[in-house]
Amino acid sequence: MWIKAFKAARAAADVSQDQLAPKINYSASTIAAVETGRRRPTMTLAVGADEALDTGGLLAEMLDLINKKQSPSWFASWRTVEDRAVKLRTYEPLLVPGLLQTEEYARAVFTGTGLYTPDGVEEQVSMRLDRQRLLTREKPPVFVAVVDEGALRRIVGDTVVQLEQLNYLLKLINERRHPSRGRRRGACRWRLRTPRGPFERRGAGGADVGQSADRGASRACLS
């Protein structure tokens, strides 16, 4: 249903895939993959298409409803609570919190469960990334995540995925320290307390995943 609406909106605006691509910062091949069902649409794409095709937010609204319906039954009610919350707190002993995961880290998490087909993994990753929009929206909730040291040292996927995830966390912290470099007014605030001494983990082939000489508590606190 969403693909049909997307195609209809593009046709009504008389915009080709090649013409739409630069307007929403996606390649024409990605748009083609979405329209043929080979790739799941993201909320970023839907919002961009709404603006470019002047649909009044229809595509984003439809995708949001679809994502909520496809969430696990136990999680559906939580998404509503999460959307309305003014403050969120979480403790994660094993993994980086979902709201802070990179795309590849989330993909590795869902793949590792063995519960999903490849298409199912992509659906779960897309929904997780869509959830993260609540941290960058206007008036985002206060988000406090206490992450155990083990979650930062544990290799998820491979060393490249883990390093990318750690760098992403550091990026969030740097944006908090230097708001003029990227963090817009009103966005979430972050703080990371790293383990005492060098923070490093060697993976396959002895590759370093990440390293920090900062001193602090044995937990990472992002708030």
Q: Please say which residue of 22, 37, 67 terminates a domain.
A: 67
* Residue 30's CATH number: 1.10.260.40
Domain identity same for 87 and 171: yes
More confident residue, 4 or 177: 4
Angle, in degrees to the nearest 10, between helices 58-70 and 43-53: 160
Average pLDDT for 185-190: 44
Contact status, residue 168 vs residue 102, Cβ threshold 8 Å: yes
Domain identity same for 58 and 120: no
pLDDT in tens, 75-98: 666 777 777 888 888 888 889 998
pLDDT score at 171: 86
Q: Is the pTM of this model over 0.85?
A: no
Contact status, residue 193 vs residue 220, Cβ threshold 8 Å: yes
Q: Which stretch of 76-80, 131-135, 137-141, 170-174 has the lowest confidence by average pLDDT?
A: 76-80
Please report where in the chains the tokens 């606190």 appear, as a residue: 221
For 82-104, what is the HEC assignment? HHHCCEEEEEECCCCCHHHCCHH
Contact status, residue 220 vs residue 172, Cβ threshold 8 Å: no
pLDDT at 207 over 50: no
pLDDT score at 204: 35
Q: Please say which residue of 10, 36, 67 terminates a domain.
A: 67
Q: Please say which residue of 48, 67, 86 terminates a domain.
A: 67
pLDDT at 154 over 70: yes
pLDDT at 198 over 60: no
Contact status, residue 141 vs residue 88, Cβ threshold 8 Å: yes
pLDDT in tens, 42-73: 888 888 999 999 988 888 888 877 766 655 65
CA dist., res. 199 & res. 24, Å (int): 39
Domain identity same for 11 and 86: no
Average pLDDT, the chain: 75
- Contacts of the segment 43-47: beta carbons below 8 A, 24+ positions apart: 43/67, 43/129, 43/130, 43/133
Neighbouring CB atoms inside 10 A of 173's CB total: 16
Domain identity same for 20 and 93: no
Domain identity same for 32 and 122: no
pLDDT > 70: percent of the chain: 73
pLDDT in tens, 10-24: 999 999 999 999 998
Domain identity same for 9 and 79: no
204 Cβ contact partners less than 8 Å away, ≥ 6 residues apart:
158, 159
Q: Which stretch of 58-72, 111-125, 128-142 has the lowest confidence by average pLDDT?
A: 58-72
pLDDT score at 69: 60
Residue 93: domain span? 75-222
Domain identity same for 191 and 97: yes
Structure tokens at 24: 């929403």
State which H helix or E strand residue 79 sits in.
Answer: helix 73-84
Domain identity same for 27 and 120: no
Neighbouring CB atoms inside 10 A of 9's CB total: 19
Q: How many domains does the chain have?
A: 2
**Of the candidates 125, 11, 3, 9, which has an alpha carbon nearest to the alpha carbon of residue 63?**
3
Domain identity same for 117 and 156: yes
* pLDDT band with cut points at 50, 70 and 90 for residue 106: very high
Domain identity same for 215 and 130: yes
Domain identity same for 157 and 174: yes
Structure tokens at 197: 């001494």
Contact status, residue 92 vs residue 146, Cβ threshold 8 Å: yes
Domain identity same for 130 and 216: yes
